[in-house]
Amino acid sequence: MNPASRRTVLTALATAAVSGPLLGTLTASPAHATGDLDIYTSNTDLYTKLAGQEGVEFSRRYRRHEYADHSLPQRYPYNRTTVMAMHGGGIETGTSELCLAIAGYHPATLDPLADGHGVFDYWMFEGLRSSGNRDLHVTAKNCDDHVALSMSASSLNVLSLHGCTAAQAGTVPQAVVVGGLNTRFKTLLKAEFDAAGIAWRDGNEVPDLAGVNTDNPCNRTMLAKGGQLELTTELRAAMFTVNTRAGRAGSTTEVFDRFTGACRAAVTKLEQGTDQIVL
């Protein structure tokens, strides 16, 4: 079965389960630009105006793995991929936990996963408020966090995770929009989502969720291209039995496992490409 027909079958199955329309036939209101309601013009603007509130209203977490090469004749491995959740915590719920798991760490214990795909660098910005976390949203193209940008610039690949609504995506309730400027990465992700039974829509069909702005950190890589995933609210909700900031990390479901497994498999295949060598 070719990818297009498999996508149609999987979408039809998802449609039957939720009594919603097909991805290709849904008439929905257009997606809105994600920065329309932003209060802060950049991360620096947010950090300045909320000075002293880190750890209370928002947080930043990241991990850059140590690599060393002290050998004269041999070359040693280096990090190729960074996973990002730019609107984690209570802003676009579930993306923090997804970021950790796709990077290769259990979201509750931070223990490395034993699935053979290794670990990747990660960066996330998280809303910690009990309510009103949407006010902490800084649209991706306006991100100027120095750690985030430096990690993008030193990576061959970035996979950035975001949340949207099904109405914005124009999809069945549980679906993901696959975007970014790296077309090979998109192809690999869509194939893995097909295999995992996850409905998807190409970002080219949803311009506001496409992740193609060159200022988006997912595309500010060494290759000037990357991947972006916009997950619907319903898909993210299906990934946890306790959908709260305290409960999500320890209550992931098989939907979470299928999704993160698909992403990790796609990254592994991406890193085997001919463009993944730095001379």
Q: What is the pTM of this model?
A: 0.89
pLDDT of residue 26: 40
Rounded CA separation 13/185 (Å)? 25
* Domains of the chain, first to last: 3-63+79-273 (3.40.630.100)
pLDDT of residue 34: 56
Reduced to 3 DSSP states, what percent helix, strand and coil does the chain have, rounded to the nearest 5? 35, 15, 45
Q: Residue 232 forms beta bridges with which residues?
A: 164
pLDDT of residue 62: 98
Q: Residue 231 forms beta bridges with which residues?
A: 163, 176
Burial class (CB in 10 A: 0-12, 13-18, 19+), 16: exposed
The closest alpha carbon to 85, from 247, 217, 191, belongs to 217
The closest alpha carbon to 223, from 156, 272, 160, belongs to 156
* Residue 188, CA distances (Å) to 31, 146, 182, 273 in order: 25, 29, 10, 11
Give the chain's residues under pLDDT 50: 1-33
Rounded CA separation 69/89 (Å)? 36
Rounded CA separation 171/232 (Å)? 9
